[in-house]
DNA sequence: CCCCTATCTTAGACATAGTCCAATCTTGGA
DNA sequence: TCCAAGATTGGACTATGTCTAAGATAGGGG
């Protein structure tokens, strides 16, 4: 699979040094099971490009989400995390103790009962579902 | 069903005017489909008790969640909403346009494929699942 | 009924995550 | 090489939530 950097070039994005380092943060760690906060990304990007600003990191991550190249993930704290695994439909497993996040494929897509949906919100059309499975990972049990 | 106020007394909580007013915010609106933010609650509580402080509202809501009398709901913005419907297992329907939230019963409990969970997070034990169904309500289509 | 103390409430400072803006700089096509 | 569109910047600003130390109060024991 192409790297994030390559896909951005393919979209015709102007390739600045800032965007290159931000994309590389996700390239180097690999596409699986990465859920960095914006400030995590800023910290890692700044290791390669010390003068990069927080505003640029926030702007760029937001643009990557809009372009569908990153997924914004929320697990109940107030922080947005960014997940480069946009090519496989998946949900998230969250350890209640250590807050580790894992990508997981739900075997059964959650389906809301149609009659119930129409009872509580007549005319509502469901387009997608996000699931957070909560539990404990091996190390925290 | 008992009101929230009554249940708190049953738990042996000291009943201050502040707690009474906060509980009544949830009592008056009814138990279904209420998802107020802390500042919403503060505003409504202050209508009855103008000198109530934000800190008290935040503390009290947190204690009610810890006691299992309110549910803290997160739908992807950075705000915690408080849901008094703790007696029926349910998930949430979120309108992408107007951000209305509805309680809904998922007919099929989402179940992660056991083999996949063990592949990505060996030893992980799932204890619960939160689902947010995203879509559009009748008025926003 | 009143007092005492454990508990609750308070104002405001602080923390965190994210947004916005006007000035400046840079990329990449002509 | 030049230049305009677009990207980046620092820092002020907003929103949501947390913390602290001082003062107030509920409600049980006497």
Cα–Cα separations (whole angstroms), residue B74 to A30, B13, B113, B125, B131: 28, 27, 25, 22, 10
Query: Do strands B81-83 and B71-73 pair parallel, antiparallel, or not at all (unpaired)?
Result: antiparallel
Strand C bases within 7 angstroms of protein beta carbons = 7-12, 16-21, 26-28
Rounded to whole angstroms, the Cα distance separating A58 from B122 reads 34
Contact B120 A33 (CB under 8 A): yes
Window 79-98 of chain B: CB closer than 7 A to strand D: 79-80
Number of Cβ pairs < 8 A linking chain A and chain B: 157
Report the residue of A33, A79, A109, A121 to disrupt the B interface, i.e. the one with the largest count of B CBs within 10 Å. Answer: A121
Query: In which band, very low, low, confident or very high, does the pLDDT at A111 lie, cut at 50, 70 and 90?
Result: confident
Query: In which band, very low, low, confident or very high, does the pLDDT at B2 lie, cut at 50, 70 and 90?
Result: confident
pLDDT digit string, tens, across residues B11-59:
999 999 999 999 999 998 665 688 999 999 999 999 999 999 999 999 9
pLDDT digit string, tens, across residues A10-48:
999 999 999 999 999 998 866 568 899 999 999 999 999
Query: Do strands A71-73 and A91-95 pair parallel, antiparallel, or not at all (unpaired)?
Result: unpaired
A106: contact with B, CB 8 A cutoff: yes
Query: Average of pLDDT values for B78-82?
Result: 96
pLDDT digit string, tens, across residues B84-128:
999 888 999 999 999 999 999 876 666 777 778 999 999 999 998
A116 in Cβ contact with B113 (< 8 Å): no
Q: Above 70 in pLDDT, residue A105?
A: yes
pLDDT digit string, tens, across residues A49-88:
999 999 999 999 999 999 999 999 999 999 999 999 998 8
Q: What is the pLDDT of residue A88?
A: 87
Q: What is the pLDDT of residue B116?
A: 86
Q: Above 70 in pLDDT, residue A138?
A: yes
Q: What is the pLDDT of residue B23?
A: 96
C-alpha torsion sign, points B115, B120, B126, B131: negative
The distance of B83 to chain A (nearest Cα, Å) reads 14
Closest CB from B123, B124, B137 relative to A123: B137
Query: What are A55-58's contacts with CB under 8 Å, separation 24+?
Result: A56/A18, A57/A22
């Amino acid at each position: 699979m192409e790297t994030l950097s390559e896909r951005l070039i393919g979209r015709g994005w102007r390739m600045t040094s800032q965007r290159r380092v931000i994309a590389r943060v996700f390239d180097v760690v690999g596409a699986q099971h990465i859920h960095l906060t914006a400030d995590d990304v800023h910290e890692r990007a700044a290791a390669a490009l010390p003068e990069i600003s927080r505003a640029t990191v926030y702007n760029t991550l937001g643009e990557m989400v809009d372009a569908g190249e990153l997924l914004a993930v929320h697990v109940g704290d107030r922080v947005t995390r960014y997940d480069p695994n946009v090519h496989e439909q998946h949900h998230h497993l969250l350890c209640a103790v250590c807050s580790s996040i894992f990508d997981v494929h739900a075997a059964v897509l959650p389906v809301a009962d149609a009659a119930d949906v129409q009872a509580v919100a007549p005319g509502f059309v469901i387009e997608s579902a996000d699931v957070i499975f909560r539990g404990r990972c091996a190390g925290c049990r």
